Amino acid sequence: MPLQIIINDQQSFYLHENVVSAFSGRLKKIIRKEKRKTQIEDSIIELNDFPGGPDGFEHVSRFCYSHGRVEITVLNVSLLYCCAFFLGMTEKASANNLLRQTEKFLEGMFYWSWNDIVMSLRSCEPFFSYADSYGLIQKLIFTLLAKIAQNSDMNFIAASSSSSSSPETSFGFRFSSTSKASPEPASPCTKSGKDWWFDDLAVLSPKMIEKIIRNLGAYGNQNNSFTLTRFLLHYLKTRPQGSSSPSSKSEYSGIADTAVHGVILVGKTKFSCRKLFWVLRLVSGFSLSKDYRAGLERLIGENLDEATVDDLLVSGHNKGVYDVNLVIRLIKVFVNSEEMNSQKMKKLGRLIDKYLREISPDQNLNISKFLAVADSLPDSARDCFDGVYRAIDFYLQSHPTLSFEDRSKLCRCLNYEKLTFEASKELAKNPRIPPNISVQALICQQSKVPQDEFLYQRTPHGSHGSHGKTSHGHMVLFNDNTMDSSSSSSSSEGAEDMKLNLQKMQWRVVELEKACKEMKGQMSKLVRHETSIFPFYNGNLPRFC
């Protein structure tokens, strides 16, 4: 009697019910049930979620019409086994049925070659849930791990992270001595090195890799194998990141967590700061859990002084070219670290100044974020603030439309007393720097000069200074040595240069004061401030820093 069987709503097969029911106990029951419901001779049976889909059922059909004969290979045995299990093709339905034949073939899997095992595991991926529930994947994984142990220098696959063995000889699970009983152990591959199996397993799906980890008892925080950690990082490196959807990335979450736990466990004894940044970049694309990310950032932050500018330039995920928030978090970890000392702090200060220069051209970097990076370090981290000034200048060049308030706000992270003389001169001449900032920087620079060497005087309105004539009543700089003609001939060349430089700075102050008086609104406070201070000037210049 003809029978129509629809597989997974994809394809229909027209078979004789006596042929298929002779081998399949499940189909035999379904046919009997359908006959009780209807008197129609032509029966239609729908089988959903069939292992392997139409291709799997076609193999079964060929088996049935070949009177129980089929060629079983490493590539199709997993599919045939799951189909036979699904359809109940047991000895109860027919002698030497498909299930028995596949079981007998699988009994020799320990003698398979390495490539055969990997291919068989990979063939299970389209019907993973069935192969897993039927125990097939468990058997294949055990054989796979046995092969790894079999063809390694040691008969176990990872020592704990506290082992003194080198990274290349660290392994994690142990087999009994009978695991190496194969009479003809085939060489798994021609690759050399202790990690010869990394590339071969990299072709497996994340579900399969996670299953292997769980079989090792090394999932998540149970991972204490450095070799397994290295493999998982290698595996993630081979996975596509750019075009993956969030759902597909979540499949790797457990693998990423397990790898990061292994990294944190060995810490900087196995991973340099640069390598830790590489790990962070790698796992960030695979739905790493918050706790493990925080642990990895803590490990990096504690060693941040060993990083380079390139390490810090991590791509941003939202707005902005770079992930500035990450760097701020890492700096906070370092500042609060118990291992932090003055030398390391100053080294980090120089690094952050370079980092600020690199990120300054980013058009999406706002002022508050720039200041957050600059202010994240204590003042003691910098002996000199020239690097901060250079970064501010780069930022102003890249953001020419900033308002006066924003430019003034940006400069608040400067410590004028820690600017070098050259940087102060450059700042005073920089048209991008607000005049009030230039004045404050120059005043702080001039305050470093010994008072017995230089004399400051405010000339009255309409009077003339001996070294700088002005009719606006501005501050004029004198050198006592220049007032004594007998000592002028003994002035050194260095002192004369200093005098000329300071005189140039004085004229810049004059120009800035004129500009300040012409400004309205924002500059009104500065004008009142200068007016209230300079009339009382008596030679000891007040400090505005």
Let me know how many helices (H) and strands (E) the chain has, helices first: 27, 5
Please tell me the distance from the alpha carbon of residue 367 to that of residue 404, in angstroms, as a whole number: 13
186: tokens are 């085939």
SS3 434: coil
Average pLDDT, the chain: 80
Q: Which residues contact 400 (CB under 8 A, 6 or more apart)?
A: none
In this prediction, residue 193 has a pLDDT band, given cuts at 50, 70 and 90, of low
Please tell me the distance from the alpha carbon of residue 274 to that of residue 212, in angstroms, as a whole number: 29
- pLDDT score for 190: 45
Phi-psi region of 464 (alpha: psi -120 to 50; beta: other; left: phi over 0): beta
The per-residue pLDDT for range 90-106, each reduced to its tens digit, is 999 999 999 999 999 99
Specify whether the CB–CB gap between 281 and 307 falls below 8 A.
no
**What is the average pLDDT across 524-530?**
48
- pLDDT score for 406: 95
Please tell me the distance from the alpha carbon of residue 400 to that of residue 397, in angstroms, as a whole number: 6
Radius of gyration of the chain (CA): 39
Q: Which residue has the tokens 């050194």?
A: 492
Higher pLDDT, 144 or 487: 144
Least confident residue range of 289-293, 434-438, 487-491: 487-491
Highest-scoring range by mean pLDDT, 155-164, 226-235, 480-489, 524-533? 226-235
Indicate the pairing of strand 454-458 with strand 475-479: antiparallel
Please tell me the distance from the alpha carbon of residue 393 to that of residue 373, in angstroms, as a whole number: 16
Please tell me the distance from the alpha carbon of residue 154 to that of residue 134, in angstroms, as a whole number: 32
- pLDDT score for 40: 54
**What is the average pLDDT across 443-456?**
56
In this prediction, residue 506 has a pLDDT band, given cuts at 50, 70 and 90, of low
- pLDDT score for 475: 44
The per-residue pLDDT for range 370-381, each reduced to its tens digit, is 999 999 999 999
Please tell me the distance from the alpha carbon of residue 440 to that of residue 541, in angstroms, as a whole number: 12
pTM: predicted TM-score of the whole model, two decimal places = 0.75
Q: Which of 115, 170, 171, 123 is nearest to 143 (CA)?
A: 115
Three-state helix/strand/coil letters over 196-248:
CCHHHHCCCCHHHHHHHHHHHCCCHHHCCCHHHHHHHHHHHHHCCCCCCCHHH
What is the crossing angle of helices 77-87 and 114-123, to 10°?
Answer: 40
Residue 456 pLDDT greater than 60, yes or no: no
| Neighbour count for residue 14 (Cβ, 10 Å) | 10
Please tell me the distance from the alpha carbon of residue 35 to that of residue 32, in angstroms, as a whole number: 5
Residue 478 pLDDT greater than 70, yes or no: no
Q: Which residue has the tokens 């501050």?
A: 475
Least confident residue range of 46-60, 113-127, 503-517: 503-517
**What is the average pLDDT across 465-484?**
43
- pLDDT score for 150: 83
In this prediction, residue 23 has a pLDDT band, given cuts at 50, 70 and 90, of very high
Q: Which of 199, 283, 171 is nearest to 233 (CA)?
A: 283
DSSP state, residue 401: T
In this prediction, residue 415 has a pLDDT band, given cuts at 50, 70 and 90, of very high
| One-letter identity of residue 156 | F
In this prediction, residue 545 has a pLDDT band, given cuts at 50, 70 and 90, of very low
Residue 488 pLDDT greater than 90, yes or no: no
- pLDDT score for 208: 96
- pLDDT score for 468: 42
**What is the average pLDDT across 305-317?**
92
- pLDDT score for 490: 42
Residue 153 pLDDT greater than 60, yes or no: no
Residue 159 pLDDT greater than 80, yes or no: no
- pLDDT score for 481: 45
Three-state helix/strand/coil letters over 55-80:
HHHHHHHHHHHCCCCCCCCCCCHHHH
In this prediction, residue 250 has a pLDDT band, given cuts at 50, 70 and 90, of confident
**What is the average pLDDT across 329-355?**
93
**What is the average pLDDT across 515-544?**
46
In this prediction, residue 63 has a pLDDT band, given cuts at 50, 70 and 90, of very high
Indicate the pairing of strand 454-458 with strand 11-16: unpaired
Burial of 119 (0-12, 13-18, 19+ CB in 10 A): middle
Please tell me the distance from the alpha carbon of residue 275 to that of residue 282, in angstroms, as a whole number: 10
Specify whether the CB–CB gap between 333 and 301 falls below 8 A.
yes
Q: Which residue has the tokens 């230039």?
A: 438
- pLDDT score for 375: 95
**What is the average pLDDT across 440-446?**
79
| One-letter identity of residue 400 | P
72: tokens are 């079983």
Please tell me the distance from the alpha carbon of residue 488 to that of residue 147, in angstroms, as a whole number: 91
| One-letter identity of residue 441 | A
Higher pLDDT, 299 or 497: 299
399-408 contacts, C-beta under 8 A, 24 or more apart: 399/363, 402/367, 404/434, 404/522, 405/522, 406/367, 407/432, 407/433, 407/434, 407/437, 408/434, 408/436, 408/437, 408/522
| Neighbour count for residue 246 (Cβ, 10 Å) | 7
CA 272 to chain centre: 15
Q: Which ranges in 471-523 belong to alpha helices (H)? A: 480-483, 485-488, 493-518
Highest-scoring range by mean pLDDT, 134-148, 189-203, 432-446? 134-148
In this prediction, residue 34 has a pLDDT band, given cuts at 50, 70 and 90, of confident
Residue 224 pLDDT greater than 70, yes or no: yes
In this prediction, residue 428 has a pLDDT band, given cuts at 50, 70 and 90, of confident
**What is the average pLDDT across 154-164?**
39
Least confident residue range of 107-111, 203-207, 441-445, 466-470: 466-470
**What is the average pLDDT across 324-344?**
92
Residue 242 pLDDT greater than 70, yes or no: no
- pLDDT score for 493: 53
Higher pLDDT, 504 or 113: 113
Burial of 68 (0-12, 13-18, 19+ CB in 10 A): middle
